[in-house]
Structure 1
Amino acid sequence: MSISSEALQKLLREVETQAIAAQQQISLVRTQQASKQRELRMAQLTRTEISSLPVGTNVYEGVGKMFVALPASDMQAKLDAQIKEAEGDVEGLGKRLHYLEVSQKNSKDQIDRMLRGGAAS
Structure 2
Amino acid sequence: MAIPNEKLQQLLQEISAKAAFAEQQLGIVRAQMASKTRESRVLQLSNTELEALPRETPVYDGVGRMFVATTIPEIKTKQTKEVEGCAKELVNLGKKLHYLETTYKNSTEHIEQILKRGG
Q: How high is the TM-score relative to the length of structure 2?
A: 0.96
SS state at 2:102 partner: helix
Cα distance in 2, alignment partners of residues 90 and 59 from structure 1:
29
1:99 equivalent in structure 2: 99
Q: Which moved more, 1:45-54 or 1:8-17?
A: 45-54
Mapping 1:1-121, distance limit 5 Å: 1-119=1-119
SS state at 1:55 partner: coil
Q: Counterpart of 1:25 in structure 2: which amino acid?
A: Q
- TM-fit CA distance, 1:53: 1.2
Q: Counterpart of 2:116 in structure 1: which amino acid?
A: R
Cα distance in 2, alignment partners of residues 51 and 77 from structure 1:
12
Q: Counterpart of 1:79 in structure 2: which amino acid?
A: Q
Cα distance in 1, alignment partners of residues 65 and 114 from structure 2:
59
Cα distance in 1, alignment partners of residues 80 and 27 from structure 2:
29
Structure 2 spans left out of the alignment, 5+ residues: none
Structure 1 spans left out of the alignment, 5+ residues: none
- TM-fit CA distance, 1:57: 2.6
- TM-fit CA distance, 1:98: 1.1
- TM-fit CA distance, 1:56: 3.0
Cα distance in 2, alignment partners of residues 103 and 65 from structure 1:
43
Matched pairs, number: 119
- TM-fit CA distance, 1:58: 2.7
Q: Deviations over 1:43-69 (max 9, x none)?
A: 111111111111233311111221111
4+ residue runs of structure 1 moved beyond 6 angstroms? none
RMSD: 0.9
Cα distance in 2, alignment partners of residues 51 and 73 from structure 1:
10
